[in-house]
Structure formats: structure tokens, C-alpha cells
């Protein structure tokens, strides 16, 4: 704790330098000048609170909310001064909201504590004092040597020292970190790889110097210095030596590693992402409304205070005979009295601000988000993946999207690669029945049935088989004879790869006769037409997005040093000095036009002198602790030059199912789709055409291959001119990464003007940060459109986080996009239901919820304000304090909450089949100023009718009780309150289109509960109440027939105009949604799907089943009476049902 305080104050910074020095097995130097560095312990802490700080920290967080803080101030004012209402009226609702929120957050944090304790208490084995010691995970220190067995999870970030294999290698899966299920190979340095026993490791004297902790999972820079007798050997350490916490050991019996990062400094912990802080448009509107109502509150309080003093200017009203002032009151300061009266009126009217709005909205969002996960239409059966909600704060934002930014590979396509064509030495080849056949040849042709490979073809295929990071299933490499011959019969190898392209190419090469059969130590084995060859792997030049290529340096069986390189044509062709460069470039363009993904393959031979220089440069760059990436990039560029081009490959990535229909539906809904991809221009355009993003009739405009600002600006001006001249035709724009950089530098406004006038935009050759910049550009434009980004890979994370709503695809490029997204789905086609059904319904529900809350509180407090005109502004309350307290908590809370969870104003199948209905709710249409003004005016109108209607019908000198007594002020207030509770509840009923038995229960149940509660509250003398002004008031009120007549008359008068307005608007100016509602009602769908309509012989269970099916959006009305359900099935989470083959996918209206 003391260390933490010192760190916060800056006296004890956790890391004094850019690097950390780790003494393996904690063998520190003996000289006195050494000061050991301080490292974090190995405890993982994902919780927010402790037992000691929960109450203060949670209260602080809750009172940062304006509404909570406001009610706290009101409560304190009630305690300090004489106010017309009891402090309980403000304190109890505030206590309820704070307590409910605290319990929810406390429970969630307790679960996090429980999970942390389970992880931190896991048993581990550490090498200490010459033996293996069993301890808890939280006790591991930096420098400890840890043993991990097969299928165990690494408890810390370890540098691999040795394994049970001679070469010191091991296989690891990082599925829990990045979702990649392929096996990754990690290797130890040769000096420690031979230390396979505890006794040998205990004698190891070595020091590791590495960078301080950082979140990047794929970056690690360090070096290890091993002391062997009199010499010190320095070896570089990179990502291939680091075993990450959370990863799992596979196909290896055991490994030993030294802990370098522990606890909250491990890469897994540094990648923990807190809940999204994005705010929806509805929340912003809600805060604006709150400010307006605060202004109304202040106005009413100031006006009441001024009118009080204006009234009291007359002596007879200032101090009437029945209310004489005390001496203290006569001598008190007028300013203090004014302030005191102002605060008293503020307290009297404070319920115009709905404190329970926030907790209701939170509950609605949290509970409503479960429907997305439960919806079987968003469930992908092949991969067993259902939709995932990472934040429920943005549910309604799904109904406001105006721009969709989508990645191409893995999002629009399957990311399942299939080899289609290749170009070798300027000749195009296709795979026909497991053989490479030149274009134009068939098996019937003279040369079409060849059993041997030409020299160029064999070299090309060997390059494909050697230049990759593909792994083979270890079970297939354990046999004595290897995997290729089992009982004399060839068995196919099972390859694992992080890149689907690499896997497709290696599998294609194996089918045509050049087979990669695995690695053994530092050797790679290849079988060419049955003849085995062993290549020594000398260096791997890893792929990176800037170079857009990867290379390997190998030693052939003849001792020759060779470099094999593959990558994008833009990074290979300019570096090639020989080979069929022009023909290959033409073939690459042809492949791209067919929508194939292209890679170029080249090689280079090294002389012994060249290789010696390369080895020296690589070692220097790889052992550098500072600027290692920059030095390696320079060395890689030095090596990968003067290449001899071998050829190119074309791999097909199939479109996902229903991509074209989904993009067309988005267009009909008024949503513009932008495709942002790293693919080359021709490939991207071809895929855009095939998926319907671009139409064949669309005028395609291009802004590509610009190198200077002037040419880019001129082209933009020409494009803007063409769009104005051909404004009738739809336009599509294609932009590449370099031109985009120029356009955004100085011509942002012109570029945006061109983009906004185009129906579809395609950005190709995009870097990840450029994707985010494009999203930010649209997001911050003057119109402030709501943006949605969808992607499946790590390169899409930046744009997913930048957009208002980020959606991750559970694809084959890991889980980075899913972990950083707000929502995750398995396929692009699910986007239509997510937006058109869930987004539409969530927006309608919460828009009504927010405005209804303000409406019912205006109805609640305005009669209180009007009453002051009849009591000389004496701050007399109209309602009893118990009614003030329970109005928002009990009497009117449940109907609107149930509405906000279950309401379906249009059938889900209709919403999905008619995307144009999405336009009706765009641009926050239901929460704009006009709807807000309507609800507010309606609230004031109803409040006036409540008050003056009751006053006129039960006014002065009216003796309406059976015993001749007159109504008093509490009877009058109770009458107003009763009318109000019934009216606001009935108003909610009028807004409800989809009735379930739950709606019926809470709507009519709320009114019944109010009557029962009032009878018990006023009919019994409660000993714990100091005063009981309401004793027998409600019973007497209900005993009057005139009171019942007044209640019915006022409720009908309030709601009649509202009903008339709805009817007139629906028939004279109906929206698209209202037209569909009328058609739907005519077809009888509502009756079939409503819980209030029961068919003959139908059980209550059947009605429950029907409601749940409707909520999931899966039930077709044509089968309502054809499917049964058991009570036990109601307990499972997957409520909805698949449509039967003979049923329509949507309702034709």
C-alpha cells in the first residue's frame, strides 16, 4: 500500500529505465553496488473494489451523476431547513437507486474477486534450491524458473529455456489471447535448450535484458547473456522465445522458462479492456432534456418565491390572525428568508426530475441485451457461435446507423482460401486433377498428362513449400517412417497456419507433388515427387504490414545459400531484377480482375561473402535493445533486393452467404456502405461488384496512384465536376491508401464532398490507422452521422474502436476484433437483423421510455405548483409524503419497464423484410425536439385537467360525502393523485402495441396495487408513523359516487384528445411504419401473437411459448397453433425456434 502511494505521488516510479535486467533463478551479483529492481508480484487483479474502499469509492462514482448529486443536495436541504415535505420523500428514492446500483456492482465485483482468487491460487512448480517446489501462482517472482506441463496454461510471461525436445522447441496455442487456434512454434536459445533437467537448470548462470512491459502481444525485444566457464555468450530474444500468460502448451511434454513479466505487467493483463465508454445519441438527448427540466424547475421555484412575497405585500396576507409570526421570524434577514423559501419550493417541485429514470434505463439496457444472445437467427450452427454483447449501453444506437464501414477479407468473404491459378516463368497454370496444367492444355492434349515437373515449376513449388510459417499436426510426425508412407499408402498431412493463404498454397503444392513434410530442429524437409530433400533453415525474415512480404534464408542440400521471398506484388516486383516481370504483372492483374488474392514469389542466391555480411548485420540488429524494429527493417530491405522473379499465385476467397442481399437491404434502409480493405485495387473492385456493393450500371470513379498533392487535388475537382454533371446516375468511388493520405492532408473538405455524393465508396490498400482516420473523418463531419464499423481481424480494431458502434466478426483471424468490439456476430448477414429488428425495437422502446418518464413527472409536479395559487404559496404539499415517495418507485415504474423490454410495434419479420422502415427512426427522429415538446405539453395539459377538473367537480362548498362532510385538502390531493396514477398508466397502455400477459399483469396490477395500498395505508392506524393525515381519507373518497364519476370523467377527458390525435395522424399523415401497422392489424397478426388473445382449448403455457417466440423474432404467425412446448423447455436459454421449411421467411404486406 505504501509503495502504491509513493508511486502515485511520483516518489517511487515503478520503472526507472527503459529496460529491465533479470537474473535467472534470482542469482544477483555479489558486489555491493547492485541495487535490485522492483517488479510487480504475480497477482491478477480484475476487481474494482476492496472491502475497505467499496463504500466510499462506489458512492463517489454514483454521485458523479448529475441526477444523483442533485437529489443528494435536495435531501441535505430538507434536513437543514424547514421544508414542506419530509426528507424521506427525497431520501428514500435516492437510497433505493443507490442501493440497487451498489448491490449490482458489488455482486459483479465479488464474482471478479472469486475468479481472481481461483487464478492466483492455482498450483505451480518452481525450481528452487536444486529441486521442484510446489507453490501458488501469486507467489511467482520475476527471475523464477517455472515448469509447465502439457496442456497447462502458462502462469506468467516466460522466456523459454528448454523443453523435452532436443532442439528446445515447443508448440503453443494462443486461442484464449487472440483466438488463433493454430499451433505456434517457440524455440529456446541453443545454450539453454540442452539444460533439460532441474539439476542442470539450477546451475545456470544467465542474465536477461529486455524491454519494460507493453501491451503488444506480438512484440518482444531482449537478449540473454549466458555465462559458460570463462566466456559470455549473447543471444537475441524475440517473440519466438516468449511464452505468454494465458496461452496453453500443446504437443510438448514439459518446458522450463524464466518469469520476465508477472501479474498486472503480463501482456494478457495489459490487454484487459475496460467497458466501452461510448455514449449513445439517446443518452445525450436524455441529458439535454434533464437540463431543460432543471431550468423549468428553477423557473417554477423562483416564480413561486416571487409570487409569495408579492402576495404577502398586503398586510392581511403577510401575518393573518391564525398564523402569527414569532419574534425570531420578524427579525430575520429578508435575504435569508427569500433563500430559505426558494430552497423550500425547490424541494417541493424537485420530483419533476425523475431520479428513477437512470436505474430504469440501466435495467432496460442490461435485460434487453439478453435478447440478442438468445436470438437463434443470430446463431451460427456450423461454428456453434451465438451473438455476443460486450456492452449494453449502445443497444438503441443500432437503430440509428447511417454509415457502415466494413472490412472485406473474413467479413464479406469466408476467409477460406482455395488455390485456383498461378503464373510460373510467365506461363499461367491451373490445377487439374492434382496436376499443374498450363492454360489451354487439358489431359487429352499431348503435353496435358505430364508426370514430371519442369525445373522452373519445381523451384517455384519448393519456394512455396519453404517460405511460410505452416505447422504440421505433431501426431502425424511421431511415426518411425514419417507421415507420407503408412503401410505403403500415402496419407494427407494436416497443416496448421495463422494465415489461410499460406495453408492453401502449401496444400496445393502437396497435391501436385512437392510436399512439405515438417521441420526437425533447424531443418525443413520437402519431398519432390517422392524424393526427400532436407533444407537447413538459417534465418526467417518475418512478415510485417509495412514490408508486406516475408522471407526465409535456407541452405540447400548442395550447400547453396538461398533466399525465398513471397508477398504483395507491389513489394516484390519493384525489387525484382530478372525473371518474366512484365508477363507476371499482366497475370497478376488478370487474377485480381477475377477476384483472386495474389502473391508474388521470388528468390535470390547468395555468395559465401554476401551471406557472411548478411549474418553479421542480422545478428547486430537482432541483439540491439534500442530501435530494434527500425534496424531490422533496414537489414531486411538490404537482404530482399536484386530478386529473381519465379511467379505469382491466385487464391480465391469465397463470398459469405447472403452478403449481396444484406448490402442491398442496408442501401434500402438509407445506410451507406463503405468497404475498407488492404487488398489491391483490381481484387477489391472485383469483389465489390460480385457482392453488390458496386452495381454494373454504376459510374465507377477512381482516385488512385497519385503521388503529389497537385495531381490529387486536380483529380478530386474533376470528380466533383463529373458528379454534378451526371447527378442522375449513381456513382461509386475507388480510393487507394496513398491517394487517401494526400486527400486527407490538405483537401479534406473536397474529398468529403465527393464521398458524400457517391452511393458506395471502396478504399483499397488501406493501413489499419487509415481505416480509423476515414471513420473519424465521417464521424466528426458537420452532419455528425452515426457510424458502424465491422471487421474480423486485428487490423480492424482501430476502426471498430473509433466508430460509434463496433461489431466484431467471429472469424478465422483471431479474436482481437471480437474482444475490442461492442457486439460480435458470426456472419455478415446477421447484421441486417441486428440493425433492422433489434436496433429498431430497442430505439423505439427507449425513446418512449425516456419521454414517458419526463411526461409522468410533469403530470406529477405541475398540480403541486398550481395548488400554491390556492394556498397563498405557503409551500403546503398537495400529496401525502408516502405518495411522493412511492409514485416513481412502485405505482408507475413497472408498466414502462415491461414496455421497454417487450414492445414490438411492428412484427420482427416485417421489420427485416422491409428495410425502408428503418428510415422512419433515423436521425434520432423519436427523440428530437418536436416529440419532446409534444410529450412535455401533453404532460402540462394532463396536469391542468387533473387539477382543474378535480377542482371544478369537487370544488368549494360541495358536500359530497354520505355523512354530509365536505372534502378537505387531503381528499382533494388524493383525488388528483388517483386520477393521475390511472391516467399515466392508461397512457402507457395506449402506447403499447404488443400485449403480453406480463403487460396486462403489470398495467392493471399497478392500478389495483395503488388502490389496495391506499386502502391499507389509510384504513389502519400505524404505530410507527408520527402523524397520519391520510387516515380514512381514501376510504371516504371511494365511498362517494361523485368521486368515482369525477375519476372516470377526468381520465376520459385526458386521453380522448390523445386518441383522436393518434387516429387523425394515422389516417391523414401516416408514416411507413404506421401503414404497415394498419395492414398488419387488418391481417390479424396482432391477435394471433398477442398474449391477450387465446384460442379455444389453448393452454396458458402455449401463450407463454408464443410470446417468447415472438420476442426472439422467430415465430411465423402461420404456425402459431402448430408447435408445442413443455414447461421444462422454458428453463433453457434458447427459447426460439427455427422456421419450418414450408413457412415464409417474412410476411408479405
Distance in angstroms (rounded) separating the CA atoms of residues 608 and 643: 17
C-alpha cell at 1032: 380514512
Distance in angstroms (rounded) separating the CA atoms of residues 154 and 148: 7
Q: Nearest to residue 597, comparing CAs of 650, 674, 521, 671?
A: 650
What are the backbone dihedrals phi and psi of residue 226, each rounded to the nearest 5 degrees, phi first? -105, 125
Which residue, chain included where needed, has cell 511467482? 140
Instruction: Determine how many CB atoms are found less than 10 A away from the CB of residue 930.
Output: 10
Give the CA-trace dihedral at 408, 412, 414, 420, to 10 degrees. -60
Look up residue 644 and give its DSSP letter: E
Taking the CA of residue 824 as centre, how many other CA atoms within 13 Å lie in the half-sphere pointing to its CB?
20
Distance in angstroms (rounded) separating the CA atoms of residues 103 and 86: 26
Q: Where are the beta strands (DSSP E) in 745-884?
A: 760-764, 787-791, 805-809, 823-825
Q: Find the catalytic residue in 407, 501, 736, 880.
A: 407
* Residue 835: partners with Cβ closer than 8 Å, 6 or more residues away: 398, 399, 401, 666, 669, 671, 788, 918
Q: How far is CA 669 from CA 254, 673, 837, 842, 930, in A?
A: 56, 11, 12, 17, 23
Q: How many Å separate Cα 153 from the centre of its chain?
A: 27
Inter-residue contact 252 to 150 (CB < 8 Å):
yes
Inter-residue contact 781 to 774 (CB < 8 Å):
no
Nearest 5°: the CA angle 834, 807, 762 is 100
Q: Is 822 one of the catalytic residues? A: no
C-alpha cell at 25: 533463478
CB-based burial label for 988 (10 Å; 0-12, 13-18, 19+) = buried
Q: Nearest to residue 904, comparing CAs of 756, 1082, 1112?
A: 1112
Which alpha helices (DSSP H) does 121-215 contain, by range? 175-178, 190-193, 198-202
For residue 568, the SS3 value is coil
Inter-residue contact 186 to 242 (CB < 8 Å):
yes
Q: Residue 486: beta bridge partners? A: 489
Distance in angstroms (rounded) separating the CA atoms of residues 803 and 778: 9
Helix and strand numbers, DSSP H then E, in the chain: 41, 35
What are the backbone dihedrals phi and psi of residue 14, each rounded to the nearest 5 degrees, phi first? -65, -30
Order of all β-strands in the sheet with 157-163: 131-136, 123-128, 145-149, 254-261, 157-163, 242-243
* Residue 607: partners with Cβ closer than 8 Å, 6 or more residues away: none
Which residue, chain included where needed, has cell 402495441? 993
Inter-residue contact 158 to 257 (CB < 8 Å):
yes
Rg, Å, the chain Cα set: 37
Q: How far is CA 528 from CA 449, 463, 522, 674, in A?
A: 18, 12, 20, 45
Look up residue 647 and give its DSSP letter: E
Inter-residue contact 730 to 695 (CB < 8 Å):
yes
Q: At what angle do helices 997-1019 and 1100-1112 cross, to 10 degrees?
A: 110
- Sign (positive/negative) of CA torsion 845, 851, 855, 860? positive
Active-site amino acid positions = 407
Amino acid at each position: 500500500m505504501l509503495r502504491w502511494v509513493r508511486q502515485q505521488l511520483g516518489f517511487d516510479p515503478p520503472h526507472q529505465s527503459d529496460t529491465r535486467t533479470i537474473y535467472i533463478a534470482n542469482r544477483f551479483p555479489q558486489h555491493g553496488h547492485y541495487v535490485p529492481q522492483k517488479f510487480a508480484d504475480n497477482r491478477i487483479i480484475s476487481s474494482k473494489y476492496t472491502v475497505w474502499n467499496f463504500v466510499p469509492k462506489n458512492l463517489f462514482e454514483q454521485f458523479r451523476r448529475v441526477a444523483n448529486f442533485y437529489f443528494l443536495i435536495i435531501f441535505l436541504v430538507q434536513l437543514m431547513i424547514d421544508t414542506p415535505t419530509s426528507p424521506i420523500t427525497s431520501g428514500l428514492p435516492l437510497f433505493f437507486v443507490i442501493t440497487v446500483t451498489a448491490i449490482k456492482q458489488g455482486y459483479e465485483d465479488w464474482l471478479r474477486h472469486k475468479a481472481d482468487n481461483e487464478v492466483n491460487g492455482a498450483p505451480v512448480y518452481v525450481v528452487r534450491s536444486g529441486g521442484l517446489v510446489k507453490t501458488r501462482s501469486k507467489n511467482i517472482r520475476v527471475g523464477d524458473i517455472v515448469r509447465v506441463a502439457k496442456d497447462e496454461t502458462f502462469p506468467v510471461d516466460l522466456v523459454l529455456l528448454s523443453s523435452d525436445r532436443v532442439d528446445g522447441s515447443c508448440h503453443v496455442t494462443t486461442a484464449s489471447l487472440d483466438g488463433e487456434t493454430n499451433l505456434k512454434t517457440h524455440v529456446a536459445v541453443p545454450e539453454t535448450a540442452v539444460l533439460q533437467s532441474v539439476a542442470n537448470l539450477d546451475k545456470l548462470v544467465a542474465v536477461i535484458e529486455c524491454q519494460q512491459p507493453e501491451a503488444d502481444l506480438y512484440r518482444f525485444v531482449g537478449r540473454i547473456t549466458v555465462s559458460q566457464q570463462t566466456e559470455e555468450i549473447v543471444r537475441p530474444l524475440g517473440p519466438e522465445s516468449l511464452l505468454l500468460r494465458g496461452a496453453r502448451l500443446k504437443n510438448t511434454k514439459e518446458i522450463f522458462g524464466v518469469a520476465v513479466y508477472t501479474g498486472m505487467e503480463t501482456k494478457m493483463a495489459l490487454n484487459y479492456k475496460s467497458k466501452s465508454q461510448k455514449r449513445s445519441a439517446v443518452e445525450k438527448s436524455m441529458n439535454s432534456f434533464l437540463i431543460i427540466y432543471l431550468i423549468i424547475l428553477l423557473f417554477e421555484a423562483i416564480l413561486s418565491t416571487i409570487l409569495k412575497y408579492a402576495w404577502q405585500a398586503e398586510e392581511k396576507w403577510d401575518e393573518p390572525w391564525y398564523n402569527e409570526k414569532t419574534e425570531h421570524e420578524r427579525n430575520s434577514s429578508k435575504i435569508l428568508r427569500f433563500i430559505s423559501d426558494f430552497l423550500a419550493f425547490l424541494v417541493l417541485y424537485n420530483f419533476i426530475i425523475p431520479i428513477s429514470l437512470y436505474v430504469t434505463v440501466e435495467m432496460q439496457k442490461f435485460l434487453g441485451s439478453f435478447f440478442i444472445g438468445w436470438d437463434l437467427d443470430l446463431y451460427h450452427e456450423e461454428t456453434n457461435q451465438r451473438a455476443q454483447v460486450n456492452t449494453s449501453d449502445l443497444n438503441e444506437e443500432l437503430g440509428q446507423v447511417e454509415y457502415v464501414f466494413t472490412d472485406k477479407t473474413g467479413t464479406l468473404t469466408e476467409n477460406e482460401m482455395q488455390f485456383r491459378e498461378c503464373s510460373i516463368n510467365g506461363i499461367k497454370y491451373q490445377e487439374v486433377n492434382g496436376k499443374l496444367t498450363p492454360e489451354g492444355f487439358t489431359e487429352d492434349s499431348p503435353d496435358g498428362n505430364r508426370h514430371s515437373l519442369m525445373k522452373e515449376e519445381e523451384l517455384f513449388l519448393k519456394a512455396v513449400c519453404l517460405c511460410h510459417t505452416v505447422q504440421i499436426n505433431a501426431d502425424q510426425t511421431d511415426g518411425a517412417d514419417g507421415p507420407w508412407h503408412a503401410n505403403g499408402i500415402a496419407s494427407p498431412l494436416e497443416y496448421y497456419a495463422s494465415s489461410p493463404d499460406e495453408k492453401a498454397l502449401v496444400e496445393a503444392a502437396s497435391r501436385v507433388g512437392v510436399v512439405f513434410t515438417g521441420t526437425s530442429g533447424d531443418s525443413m524437409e520437402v519431398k519432390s515427387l517422392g524424393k526427400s530433400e532436407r533444407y537447413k533453415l538459417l534465418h526467417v525474415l518475418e512478415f510485417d504490414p509495412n514490408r508486406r512480404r516475408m522471407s526465409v534464408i535456407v541452405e540447400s542440400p548442395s550447400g547453396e545459400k538461398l533466399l525465398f521471398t513471397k508477398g504483395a506484388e507491389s513489394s516484390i516486383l519493384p525489387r525484382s531484377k530478372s525473371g518474366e516481370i512484365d508477363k507476371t504483372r499482366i497475370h497478376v492483374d488478370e487474377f485480381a480482375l477475377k477476384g483472386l488474392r495474389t502473391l508474388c514469389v521470388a528468390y535470390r542466391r547468395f555468395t559465401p561473402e554476401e551471406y557472411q555480411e548478411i549474418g553479421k548485420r542480422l545478428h547486430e540488429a537482432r541483439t540491439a535493445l534500442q530501435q530494434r524494429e527500425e534496424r531490422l527493417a533496414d537489414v531486411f530491405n538490404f537482404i530482399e533486393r536484386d530478386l529473381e522473379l519465379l511467379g505469382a499465385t491466385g487464391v480465391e476467397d469465397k463470398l459469405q452467404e447472403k452478403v449481396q442481399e444484406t448490402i442491398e437491404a442496408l442501401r434500402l434502409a438509407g445506410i451507406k456502405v463503405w468497404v475498407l480493405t488492404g487488398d489491391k485495387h483490381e481484387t477489391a473492385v472485383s469483389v465489390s461488384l460480385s457482392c453488390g456493393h458496386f452495381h454494373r450500371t454504376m459510374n465507377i470513379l477512381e482516385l488512385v496512384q497519385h503521388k503529389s498533392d497537385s495531381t490529387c487535388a486536380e483529380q478530386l475537382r474533376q470528380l466533383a465536376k463529373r458528379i454534378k454533371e451526371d447527378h442522375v446516375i449513381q456513382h461509386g468511388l475507388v480510393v487507394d491508401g496513398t491517394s487517401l493520405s494526400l486527400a486527407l492532408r490538405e483537401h479534406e473538405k473536397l474529398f468529403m464532398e465527393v464521398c458524400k455524393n457517391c452511393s458506395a465508396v471502396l478504399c483499397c490498400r488501406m493501413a489499419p490507422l487509415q481505416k480509423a482516420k476515414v471513420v473519424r473523418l465521417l464521424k466528426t463531419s458537420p452532419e455528425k452521422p452515426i457510424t458502424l464499423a465491422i471487421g474480423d481481424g486485428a487490423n480492424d480494431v482501430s476502426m471498430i474502436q473509433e466508430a460509434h458502434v463496433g461489431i466484431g466478426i467471429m472469424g478465422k483471424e483471431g479474436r482481437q476484433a471480437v474482444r475490442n468490439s461492442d457486439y460480435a456476430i458470426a456472419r455478415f448477414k446477421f447484421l441486417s437483423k441486428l440493425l433492422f429488428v433489434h436496433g429498431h425495437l430497442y430505439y423505439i422502446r427507449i425513446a418512449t421510455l425516456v419521454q414517458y418518464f419526463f411526461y409522468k413527472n410533469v403530470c406529477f409536479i405541475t398540480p403541486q405548483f398550481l395548488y400554491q395559487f390556492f394556498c397563498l404559496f405557503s409551500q403546503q404539499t398537495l400529496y401525502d409524503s408516502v405518495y411522493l415517495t412511492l409514485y416513481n418507485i412502485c405505482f408507475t415504474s413497472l408498466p414502462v419497464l415491461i414496455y421497454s423490454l417487450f414492445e414490438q410495434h411492428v412484427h420482427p419479420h416485417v421489420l427485416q423484410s422491409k428495410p425502408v422502415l428503418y428510415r422512419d427512426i433515423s436521425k434520432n427522429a423519436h427523440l428530437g425536439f418536436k416529440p419532446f415538446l409534444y410529450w412535455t405539453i401533453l404532460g402540462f395539459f394532463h396536469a391542468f385537467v387533473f387539477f382543474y377538473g378535480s377542482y371544478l367537480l369537487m370544488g368549494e362548498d360541495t358536500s359530497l360525502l354520505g355523512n354530509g362532510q365536505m372534502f378537505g385538502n387531503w381528499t382533494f390531493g388524493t383525488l388528483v393523485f388517483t386520477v393521475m396514477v390511472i391516467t399515466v398508466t392508461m397512457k402507457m397502455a395506449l402506447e403499447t402495441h404488443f400485449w403480453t400477459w406480463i403487460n396486462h399483469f403489470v398495467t392493471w396490477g399497478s392500478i389495483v396495487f395503488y388502490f389496495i395500498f391506499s386502502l391499507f395505508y389509510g384504513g389502519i392506524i400505524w404505530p410507527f408513523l408520527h402523524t397520519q393525515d391520510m387516515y380514512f381519507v381514501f376510504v371516504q373518497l371511494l365511498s362517494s359516487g361523485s368521486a368515482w364519476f369525477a375519476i372516470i370523467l377526468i381520465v376520459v377527458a385526458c386521453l380522448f384528445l390523445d386518441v383522436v390525435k393518434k387516429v387523425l395522424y394515422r389516417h391523414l399523415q401516416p408514416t411507413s411504419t404506421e401503414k404497415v401497422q394498419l395492414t398488419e392489424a387488418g391481417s390479424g397478426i396482432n391477435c394471433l401473437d398477442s398474449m391477450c388473445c387465446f384460442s379455444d382449448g389453448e393452454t396458458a403455457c402455449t401463450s407463454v411459448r408464443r410470446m417468447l417466440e415472438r420476442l426472439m423474432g422467430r415465430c411465423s404467425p402461420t404456425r402459431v397453433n402448430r408447435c408445442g412446448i413443455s414447461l421444462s423447455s422454458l428453463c433453457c436459454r434458447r427459447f426460439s425456434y427455427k422456421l419450418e421449411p414450408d413457412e415464409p421467411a417474412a410476411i408479405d404486406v
